Structure 1
Amino acid sequence: MKHILSILVENKSGVLSRVIGLISRRGFNIESLTVAPTENVTMSRMTIIVDADEVGFEQITKQLNKLVSVYKIHDLTDEDAIERELALFKVCAPAERRHEVIEIANLFRAKVVDVGKTSLTIEATGDASKLGALEDLFQAYGIKQLTRTGKIVMSRGM
């Protein structure tokens, strides 16, 4: 089962390495990982999606809680949460078909961030299903390059 962890950690070098090492040493696969500073410059938030059974997940959280640099762990797996991901698509778009690609981007509330002679680069945010649908539509034109950030997740309300 995929588990979503939001981990508040000390914002200093080596913390990411210790957290990831702890999870990988136990043989669990990390599907997605994002790390960024928070509103407090001394802290960072890691969002980790890990594939583990319940026993393994409990083991991971107990071990993470023992790390000095970890302040708080929040399991967002079963919570009502907001999930977003950013994707950049470099799509083949010769001049005669460029308007079609732009129309698709507009339907998904994505925006064109770069224009080349034969391509457009589109920036899109949303959940995995939205980005997957956009990718499927762009496949018909040819995707030269695709990059995704991984999920960021935040609980709703307070």
Structure 2
Amino acid sequence: MTREASGASAPGLAAPERLRRREEFLRASASGISRNYGAFKVLMAVRADDAEGAPRFGFTVTKKVAGAVGRNRIRRRLKEALRVSKAHGARPGRDYVFIARRAALTAPFADLIAQMADGLARLGRSHEADRPKKPKNRPVAP
């Protein structure tokens, strides 16, 4: 059986690291940094324990969105979009949580990839803008 026939992922495209525990998901939702898109909402939290580690990702699809089959299909689509996009725009040392919307089930796959890359890039830029800047060296008035 070939790799394509077995349904295995393409070579060279490793799956991103995942969030696995409830506490990790809750920390991302409590951080307050998020962006809304048509197919999902993306949340970001900075990890204090591993500031230079690979970014980690989690996916949430509630029962309000779809039944079990629809929820699993949405989760698989979002995971594959993240894998194919190679998590472009994700910063090291951060956790990202994608909260799926109903539109993720029917949205064109290319749109999912574009929204995902845009969301990750915007979150990274907005977090950098929120950091306090170093004061400039100004002469002290006598």
TM-score between both structures, scaled by the size of structure 1 = 0.25
Q: Which structure features the higher share of helix residues?
A: 2
Q: Which structure features the higher share of strand residues?
A: 1
Q: Which structure would you say has the larger Rg?
A: 1
TM-score between both structures, scaled by the size of structure 2 = 0.27
